[in-house]
Amino acid sequence: MGPENSIQVVHPSLPVQIRLQDRLCVILGGGRVALRKALKLKDAGAVVRVIAPSLEGDAAAWASLEIEHEARPYGGPADLKAFLVVAATNDAEANAQIARDARLQGAMVLRADAPGDSDISFPSTLRRGALSVSFATDGRCPALAARLRREAEVRYDAHYEVFLDLIAELRAEPRFKALPGRDRERILTEIAESDLLASLGWEQPETVRAAIFHKLEELEHPTPRKGSVTLIGAGPGDPGLLTLKAAEALRGAEIVLHDALANPALLDLHAPQAERIDVGKHKGNAVMTQTQINQLLVQLGREGKRIVRLKGGDPYLFGRGGEEARALSEAGVGFQTVPGVSSLSAVPAAAGIPVTDRDFGNSVGAFSLHKHHGEGPCEDEWHRMAHGPETLVLFMGKSMLQHACDRLVAHGRPATTPAALIINGTLRSQRVIQGTLETLAGQVANEKYSGPGLIVVGEVVGLRQILTPSEVLA
């Protein structure tokens, strides 16, 4: 392969933190870009000198900074005896010359107009006390880095600052300092992976502080470790619908038992270190029976493990979470439940169907079309459905759609009642087929749809035409 065909390997930048406290940083240029750099440098405690004929842009912002301003053009290499030089003029050739001169003086260089010719870059950074979360794109799209930082503001709230201050107190404790390194690391790991950070949302900091320091007591007076099981609702499919509390529990899990309906992306994102055990159904075949799952949860809980049972939707709505919770309670294994966003309302909503509406349906009922031992509803249950809530949400019914429509009509629901089948609700692959109890099964008969399905019956289905963007209507 000739030189003209060779592939140039471009290595990504190494993210580092540099202490700029009381170090001289020189900025060449006085425009808006220079102002943004000056604000970041002053925030980091640097001594900032700006060399530019004038300071442009936000005069109040410039005035708020304690900087040295030399109102003149760049005067040559002697201006660049600094720790960091920022070339931020509006002249690319001048910036390139400044960069060359600065390196001869031993200074690091940041060229605002040419990230590839810079030694460092300023990432978009969120600060919560001692915590810094930064996003950088190697200069390719700073706007994306800024967007990610804004999203992180929700994820990393003010509780992180309080939490890290409490950890700093623990690390300053003489008893903690006297521990062997592996014990200190173990305590910090257990605290970081616990739900103490999440509990700051509703507990007083002093309560959380006591729990943190209790880790020292546990080490000095060890007792057999108690296991815990957390039953988590993963939501209807879209990973973005996982709750923050569920994500916290996943991150601290040692073992995750998950269903087939739980999106694998949740495990990759929130529990990459955890052992994963698939206990779901795949094409009608169960990896484990429900009794075996219950026994495994009890066994692992008794072994002192931090277990998460990850279930699609909400664990207590046709998720058999109640059966698992009863088994744990009867065995004396501690557990907690984290509710999930339920498919009952979320899947229809994503399809443009509100399950209740004051004009079209004031009541809603959820029914499973597959009960214990695979049985379907009996005739009395079909009758109650046909004459019950104005809106019906039928779970696990895709395979018996024709039968469900026929039985509802036979027991008194008008054949003209609007109905819809929603496949892969809330996901990009979502598919919605809309018709009536009389037509829906026929509309679906000649199509092959893979993925879980939910049936919605009621006048509210007709609202989909105005509540769903036209480009995604089936």
Q: How distant is the alpha carbon of residue 69 from its chain centre?
A: 44
* SS3 category, 73: coil
User: The tokens of 16 are what?
Assistant: 């580092």
Q: How distant is the alpha carbon of residue 327 from its chain centre?
A: 31
Active site residue 259: yes
The DSSP bridge partners found for residue 124 are 135
Residues ≥6 apart with Cβ < 8 Å to 325: 231, 335, 337
CA distance linking residue 193 with residue 252, whole number of Å: 4
CA distance linking residue 454 with residue 344, whole number of Å: 9
CA distance linking residue 102 with residue 374, whole number of Å: 76
Is the Cα torsion angle 361, 365, 366, 371 positive or negative in sign?
negative
Nearest to 459 by CA among 389, 368, 411: 389
285 φ, ψ (degrees, to nearest 5): -105, 125
Active site residue 357: no
Residues ≥6 apart with Cβ < 8 Å to 144: 135, 137
CA distance linking residue 84 with residue 145, whole number of Å: 23
CA distance linking residue 470 with residue 202, whole number of Å: 42
Set 101, 259, 314, 398: catalytic member:
259
Q: Are strands 418-423 and 453-457 parallel, antiparallel or unpaired?
A: antiparallel
How open is the CA angle 241-243-246, to the nearest 5 degrees?
A: 125
The DSSP bridge partners found for residue 285 are 282
The DSSP bridge partners found for residue 27 are 50, 86
Tallying the residues shown for the chain, one arrives at: 474
CB 33 within 8 A of CB 57: no
Residues ≥6 apart with Cβ < 8 Å to 18: 120
Catalytically active residues, by annotation: 259, 281
